[in-house]
Amino acid sequence: MPALGCCVESAVSPPLGYSFLSTPEIFSSGVPPSTNAVPFTTHWSPELSSDLYRVDGWGAPYFTVNSSGDISVRPHGTDTLPHQEIDLLKVVKKASDSINSGGLGLQLPLVVRFPDVLKNRLESLQSAFDYAVQSEGYEAHYQGVYPVKCNQDRFVVEDIVKFGSGFRFGLEAGSKPELLLAMSSLCKGSSEGLLVCNGFKDAEYVSLALVARKLQLNTVIVLEQEEELDLVIDISRKMAVRPVIGLRAKLRTKHSGHFGSTSGEKGKFGLTTTQILRVVRKLEESGMLDCLQLLHFHIGSQIPSTALLADGVGEAAQVYSELVRLGAGMKFIDIGGGLGIDYDGTKSSDSDVSVGYGLQDYASTVVQAVRFVCDRKNVKHPVICSESGRAIVSHHSVLIFEAVSSTTTRSQELSSVGLQSFVEKLNDDARADYLNLSAAAIRGEYDTCMLYADQLKQKCVEQFKDGNLDIEQLAAVDAVCDFVSKAIGASDPVRTYHVNLSVFTSIPDFWAIDQLFPIVPIHKLDERPSARGILSDLTCDSDGKIDKFIGGESSLPLHELGNGNGAPYYLGMFLGGAYEEALGGLHNLFGGPSVLRVSQSDSPHSFAVTYAVPGPSCADVLRAMQHEPELMFETLKHRAEEFMHKEEEEEEEEEEDKEVAFASLASSLNQSFHNMPYLAPHSSCCFSAAANSGGYYYCNDENIVGVGAECAIGEEEFWPYCVA
């Protein structure tokens, strides 16, 4: 008789002689293996982890698993030497360790930026186009433009301008604050770098763009709507500035994926062919047709294949050639964004999270398509621009967060006496299901077992709702049904890992559009993961979880937490350097992560921290919602004083002790406003002053040289006007 039958039968009819087994041997035949199981091997290695998490697929050439079982960053891509690799775990330890132990005392979650990776992405993109231009005999050049909407962080933008100045790299803006940012940044960039002004425009936007032109910035105002032309003509005449104008064309070419909805004739931006002709006519009538110099288009983000790319670029080159024929002073063709990222490492052209080409394939396809049309039309080759923001910044940033606990459904174990007592309290219908369950278990009919187990649970729940079954009995039926599920291999082995993170703040695209990112433990990769899990964040929202992963997986291979010693378990979300930080909100008032900027160096650990800043404090996120933390603290402090006076009337206590207690309470309240909203490290007391909250660190070379902390506080400091 199968062990399952032995266990269940013992509670129904003990005279048959079967004893209850608290941990019965689960039968091994006829049970389908779990499809979520991690491949079993007696020896585990970092190479096996690399295969399991597809690191060499999505991570090349910037991320790899090293011999210690940690994720390593290769800051210079394929040119990275072995001694230049950066162990990500060592970076996290440097950031999170206390100042007393040589760390920076930053709290997780943490975004780690690698400017060397950013530099390599820029150089690789430029090199791909330079090679394509040379090999195709193209008679113009390529110069890139970074759309700052992808990541407006000051250091990211400044790095791109700095790294790209040698090959005329420019910026693209889509709003007035982005335009101000771009204008300021390009003052330190290449004089030939383009400042492309996209997005909806009003008179102020157009005036700013013309001011940029007046400041000798290479500014192009791109018409997204036909009516914007009147503004440009009118304001440029009033300001006596000759504008350079571009227009965005709505192409017929589009792709069918999620990001394809931004392209085609129904796209949000751009002009139809009829509108383009009206713009040309009006410019000609105004004596400004020579100002029309750039054609812009956008097929859609994450263009999946070079075939679709060639089709779209070819159509745009036809439009460009027609504008030349109509007398416009055309010089540039801006192919927009669309250069995709292989988020899952499959190199597939049939997925929203992958692409079937590399940088060189992309560049060669663009150059070939433009050259073919222009040569056929006898049109001078235009300068090729692209706005490849996602491809430039995605790899340079890694989000690190900690799994703080894990849960799994564990029902109570029942003794034979407890099981017998449970059966006796069942009504006739439920007891019949139990008897049928027992009989099916004895016969080894496991599908039937699950059917009767489900019916038994449903009827017991109904009894509980009617008040005829107590909570202990309800737990008992859960234990029986859970045992049956495990015995026949039908139980869900997936755990929930609770992570110190807000999905809505740090990975908003997962929640909003089901965008998948590689998520991998950054250490312990020399050990076989023994569990599978989904990730649940800190927010009080059922959507605050990650239950879809690359490779079509609904769970992630993970390790046991802590191994009994309380050691942290760190996970990394990769390829998230574009959009996530700007799109993140303040759901549940969880602010952004701490930020660390790390460069490759010749130091013992191969890296230097050049910038570090704690994430927003509780006070910061409260201010963002129009609260006044200083006044809130004052209110709470006065309430504490009232409470202390009330206690004075009820019990005797030394005046000095009361003052100490009040000062301690006020200090703790004050510190709470200055701490980050996320869970504090295990070693921290929730009402103690944490060093460095609200401060920042900055250095130019390898060592932190100063601390600026206008809002950083010590153990006894308050906001100045709040001191009692």
CA distances, 128 to each of 131, 382, 391, 669 (Å): 5, 17, 13, 56
Beta carbons of 34 and 489 less than 8 angstroms apart:
yes
Which class for 449: exposed (0-12), middle (13-18), buried (19 or more C-beta within 10 A)?
buried
CB 362 within 8 A of CB 128: yes
Q: DSSP state, 271?
A: B
Query: Alpha-carbon distance 123 to 57, whole Å?
Result: 21
Element (H, E) at 399: strand 397-407
Query: Whole-angstrom Cα distance, residue 459 to residue 59?
Result: 51
Distance (Å, whole) CA 560 – CA 403:
10
Q: Could you tell me which of 565, 571, 564, 567 has the C-alpha nearest to residue 536?
A: 571
C-alpha 312/C-alpha 545 separation (Å) is 37
* Pair type for strands 71-73 and 63-65: antiparallel
3-class secondary structure per residue, 496-560: EEEECCCHHHHCHHHHHHCCCCCEEECCCCCCCCCEEEEEECCCCCCCCEECCEHHHECCEEECC
CA pair distance 219, 208, nearest whole angstrom: 10
Dig out the tokens for 122 from the structure.
Answer: 């820029």
Lookup: tokens for 640 = 């504490």
Residues with active-site annotation = 540
d(CA 157, CA 124): 18
Q: Is the CB of residue 109 less than 8 Å from the CB of residue 615?
A: yes
